[in-house]
Amino acid sequence: MGGILLEGKNLTKEFPAGHGKKIHAVSDVSIRIYEGETLGLVGESGCGKSTLGRVLIRLLSPSSGELFVRGEAVNGLSDKDFMKYRRQLQLIFQDPYASLNPRMNVRDIIAEPLRTYHTCSSKKETTQRVLELMQAVGVPGEFLYRYPHQFSGGQRQRIGIARALAADPALIVCDEPVSALDVSVQNQILNLLRELQRSRGMAYLFISHDLSVVRYISDRVCVMFLGKLCETGPTGEVYEKPRHPYTRFLLEAVPDPDPSARNEHAELLRGEIPSPVDPPAGCRFHTRCPYATETCRTQEPPLRGCGEGREVACHYPLE
């Protein structure tokens, strides 16, 4: 694992909800992404995963907290001063049908970052660079002047990946990049992302609700619930020995195709997700946790180390 590429300290993001209330999308989250690694971010829909990803690359400004790129504080910079960091932090969107401008052809879509950052000195050089990027992601060069509606979902996502690569980033936030694709195409895109990482050495923040996908591609994993991180650690360790009850419930809910491997006594996660407008006091998971005590209901557990590079936010971490 390399040095710290991107770090967020005590990040909070709130949105107005009317009548003086706020949506607490991300609450006091501290997170690190290291050079060349893939950090998975998992949790139920609405837990704040995508919001956190956008805050980390400053597509959304944090309500409070600090951001650092390679040790340099960046959240106080103007948009102009942040431009030199912006090209290092790119994003692959979830929906390949909505993320590409339907009025632009493939050449212009991929060339947009090249023009923004003045990477190429001529149109000929720009076109050659676009062709190289298309080849890198497996899109034939003869499709250079086609429009998005002429491609399948998997091909569109490849074009989106090529656009993210054009800026030569150090980090790409992958916001559920395969959830809108067929299973066979998902595998192709995941393998493409791994190959690009090996050849280019960049880091990924891979956001997904699909635990099997995250296990396949991630070096480390963060589990998120209602705007908070509840467990982090090496992927294999977290999946084999979850320490937070929420992590265990998530893993037990994953279907197993092998009937003999299924746990017939697995507990189902009970209750409803609390509202992010009015999150519960104490541990935010206590309203759904079968092990909750009075301490859990009144005192919020900090995210603290529990050995082997792992952290857990629980008063009584599972053994």
Q: Per residue in 167-192, pLDDT tens? A: 999 999 999 999 989 988 999 999 99
CB 48 within 8 A of CB 26: yes
Does residue 302 register a pLDDT over 70? yes
Does residue 259 register a pLDDT over 70? no
Backbone φ and ψ for 221, nearest 5 degrees, come out as: -140, 140
Instruction: Round the average pLDDT of the chain to a whole number and report it.
Output: 93
Full strand arrangement of the beta sheet holding 220-225? 89-92, 171-175, 203-207, 38-42, 220-225, 228-234, 311-312, 304-305
Read off the pLDDT band of 264 (50, 70, 90): low
CA nearest neighbour of 105 among 58, 159, 38 = 159
Distance, in Å, from the CA atom of 258 to the CA atom of 264, rounded to the nearest integer, reads 12
* Mean pLDDT, residues 128-150: 97
Read off the pLDDT band of 262 (50, 70, 90): low
Helix axes 153-165, 123-137, angle to 10 degrees: 130
Backbone φ and ψ for 222, nearest 5 degrees, come out as: -120, 130
Q: What is the pLDDT of residue 265?
A: 58
Bridge partners of residue 23, in order along the sequence: 15
CA nearest neighbour of 86 among 67, 99, 100, 64 = 67
Read off the pLDDT band of 268 (50, 70, 90): confident
Tokens (6 digits) for 271: 């209750």
Q: What is the pLDDT of residue 319?
A: 55
* Mean pLDDT, residues 116-135: 96
Q: What is the pLDDT of residue 308?
A: 82
Tokens (6 digits) for 287: 């309203």
Q: What is the pLDDT of residue 88?
A: 96
CB 284 within 8 A of CB 47: no
Q: How would you class 199 by CB atoms within 10 Å of its CB: exposed for 0-12, middle for 13-18, buried for 19 or more?
A: exposed
* Mean pLDDT, residues 15-32: 95
Terminal C-alpha separation, the chain = 27
Distance, in Å, from the CA atom of 164 to the CA atom of 145, rounded to the nearest integer, reads 19
Q: pTM (2 decimals)?
A: 0.94
